[in-house]
């Protein structure tokens, strides 16, 4: 911060901040501020380091904050506060400047109203689902969805807060569960897989939404206990009450939706937020006035006017939607690279120097945070180079791999996963293909599946990969040993506790045989097994 204006610190010679924070959380501190240049109120969030974080952990948090803030800025949705700016203060702390939201948190609303009506509960929940659908489509998972992070504006619209620390799904979600670090979230709203294995997916957010819906309807939290650890144990092990057993006027259909959201295993919950939105919308109706929380019904509401017009426009006839999930290419777009050269194509020629220039240009775009542009540039170059040299030409393989890695680092797992899978298949079918790289691409494909919430398919892929690695490398090679660790942790996070314990105990015995009791992975396995037994 530089200087002061009227008792307020000025950040970056532009944002005058109030001296007292608006709020603090486990991962961030938020100040109300005033943009001196554009004359508007803003909220400024700083990263907040755990008191026991070491230098390496702080650096990792900073790197993630910077990268993930860029991803969050792309999440443009009326239910998410807009991101205006980002930077670093004089002490080296990253910060994010966001839209300042006025309204009442759903937590305060519950405290005031005690119980919300069926209509308002479903209406708030459906709006949250629309935000989650956008976030999950961008491979963002909230991790800390709770009533205090939902803001009801006076117009009746809902804003989902705390996307400022953009908790993007990435490979660290698979590896952080091997550490004893901090797991973001609040135990009262955390899914079992978050608590037991530190792994969050889109379906973890759906579980949290179920907790919030239960609380809105009943006025009490799903599980209560004297300590966070005891709450976490109940989340992992106890069957929750049905809403209708607490409040009999709740429709059975809505009670069933909430019960489905609160299933212990992620694969037993609804497929996605879009499905939940459709089920909740059937219960939105008879919305009573809420004094002080909403504008009087007599006042014109521009948000409702906009929403009503948009619903008419969105339902108008239009061209057939392009398939969204890997089933085809848009009209006029170039095909994805294949294993061999394509004869008779009309693609422009490319030479080796142009391939190098494309990779250099993509690297420059990545350094500017323009990852999607970089990935698209590599796609065009890879298609042309594959046509000229073949899809498994070493330089073409590098292009394809770089594109997949950029998408992966950007959190776009729905696109990255199929790219890894296709490259692995081409390498497997190519004489003299790089077996090590093929295995790595298969691992990345499975990781994308896991981080996208499909733990069942991810485990299938990982187990198949393990069998092939053992056959190729031997059971005692570090790579299949590490893969067994990841499988055990994924089984634990997916709620397959007995399978996870068998996997981890067997791995532990092999590691002790090879390296002794003090090997770091042995200690991490002990921690995982201890947490599993305590939950």
For 327, phi then psi, to 5°, come to -100, 0
Half-sphere exposure of 214 (CA within 13 A, CB side): 27
Helix (H, G, I), strand (E, B) or coil at 264: coil
Nearest to 364 by CA among 402, 413, 394: 402
Listed residue (438, 525, 437, 447) closest to 485, CA to CA:
525
Q: Kindly report the number of other CB atoms within 10 A of residue 301's CB atom.
A: 17
Residue 463: which residues within 8 A CB-CB, separation 6 or more? 487
Contact between 415 and 324 under an 8 Å Cβ cutoff? The reply is: no
User: Helix (H, G, I), strand (E, B), or coil: what is residue 208?
Assistant: helix
Lookup: tokens for 382: 């890879």
Rounded Cα distance, 509 and 473, in Å = 19
Signed CA dihedral, 210, 215, 217, 218: sign only: positive
Residues 159 and 77 sit within 8 Å (Cβ to Cβ)? no
DSSP 336: P
Of the candidates 63, 89, 108, 144, the residue annotated as catalytic is 144
Q: Kindly write down the DSSP assignment for every residue of 13-34, as one continuous string.
A: TTEEE-SS-SEE-SSEEEEEEE
Q: Are 197 and 487 in contact (CB under 8 A)?
A: no
The rounded distance, in Å, linking the Cα atoms of 30 and 44 is 5
Catalytic residue list contains 144 = yes
86, 94 Cβ separation under 8 angstroms: yes
3 state DSSP class of 527: helix
Residue 239 DSSP label: P
The answer to whether residues 452 and 173 touch, using CB atoms and an 8 Å cutoff, is no
Measured CA to CA, the distance from residue 300 to residue 501 in angstroms comes to 59
Query: Which of 496, 405, 421 shows the shortest CA–CA distance to 459?
Result: 496
Identify which of 439, 490, 133, 409 has the alpha carbon closest to the alpha carbon of residue 276: 133
Q: What are phi and psi of 450, to 5 degrees?
A: -60, -45
DSSP string covering 75-97, please? ---TTSPPEEEEEE-TTS-EEEE
**Cα separation, 190 vs 144, whole angstroms:** 7
Question: Which structure tokens are listed for 60?
Answer: 């990792």
Helix (H) or strand (E) holding 455: helix 455-473
Question: Which residues carry out catalysis?
Answer: 144
């Amino acid at each position: 911060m530089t200087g002061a204006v009227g008792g307020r610190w000025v950040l970056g010679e532009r944002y005058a901040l109030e001296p007292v924070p608006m709020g603090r959380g486990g991962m961030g501190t938020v100040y109300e501020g005033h943009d001196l240049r554009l004359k508007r109120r803003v909220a400024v969030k700083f990263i907040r380091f755990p008191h026991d974080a070491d230098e390496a952990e702080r650096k990792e948090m900073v790197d993630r904050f910077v990268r993930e803030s860029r991803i969050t800025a792309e999440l443009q949705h009326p239910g998410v506060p807009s991101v205006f700016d980002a930077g670093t203060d004089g002490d080296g702390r990253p910060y994010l400047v966001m839209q300042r939201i006025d309204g009442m948190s759903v937590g305060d609303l519950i405290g005031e109203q005690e119980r919300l009506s069926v209509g308002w509960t479903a209406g708030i929940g459906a709006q949250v689902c629309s935000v989650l659908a956008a976030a999950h489509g961008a491979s963002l998972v909230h991790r800390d969805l709770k009533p205090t992070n939902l803001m009801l504006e006076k117009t009746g619209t809902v804003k989902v807060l705390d996307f400022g620390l953009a908790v993007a799904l990435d490979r660290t979600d698979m590896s952080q569960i091997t550490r004893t670090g901090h797991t973001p979230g609040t135990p009262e709203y955390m899914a079992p897989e978050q608590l037991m294995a530190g792994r969050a997916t889109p379906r973890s957010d759906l579980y949290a939404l179920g907790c919030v819906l239960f609380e809105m309807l009943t006025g009490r939290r799903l599980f209560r206990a004297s300590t966070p650890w005891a709450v976490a144990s109940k989340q992992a092990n106890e069957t929750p009450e049905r809403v209708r057993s607490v409040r009999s006027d709740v429709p059975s259909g809505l009670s069933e939706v909430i019960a489905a959201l609160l299933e212990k295993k992620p694969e037993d919950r609804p497929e996605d937020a879009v499905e939940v939105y459709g089920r909740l919308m059937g219960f939105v109706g008879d919305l009573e006035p809420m004094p002080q929380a909403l504008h009087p019904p007599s006042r014109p509401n521009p948000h409702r006017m906009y929403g009503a017009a948009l619903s008419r426009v969105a339902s108008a006839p239009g061209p057939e939607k392009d398939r969204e999930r890997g089933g085809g290419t848009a009209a006029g777009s170039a095909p994805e690279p294949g294993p061999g050269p394509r004869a008779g194509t009309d693609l422009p020629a490319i030479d080796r120097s142009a391939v190098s220039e494309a990779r250099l240009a993509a690297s420059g775009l990545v350094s500017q945070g323009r990852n999607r542009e970089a990935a698209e540039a590599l796609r065009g170059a890879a298609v042309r180079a594959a046509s000229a040299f073949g899809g498994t030409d070493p330089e073409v393989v590098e292009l394809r791999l770089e594109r997949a890695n950029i998408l992966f680092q950007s959190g776009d797992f729905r696109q990255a996963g199929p790219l890894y899978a296709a490259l692995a298949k081409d390498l497997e079918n190519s004489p003299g293909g790089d077996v090590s790289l093929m295995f790595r691409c298969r691992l990345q494909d499975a990781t994308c599946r896991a981080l996208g919430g499909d733990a069942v398919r991810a485990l299938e892929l990982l187990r198949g990969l393990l069998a092939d690695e053992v056959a190729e490398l031997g059971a005692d090679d570090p790579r299949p040993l590490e893969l067994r660790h990841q499988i055990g942790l994924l089984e634990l996070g997916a709620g397959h506790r007995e399978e996870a314990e068998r996997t981890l105990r067997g791995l532990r015995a092999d590691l002790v045989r090879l390296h002794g009791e003090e090997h770091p992975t042995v200690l991490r396995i002990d921690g995982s097994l201890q947490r599993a037994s305590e939950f």
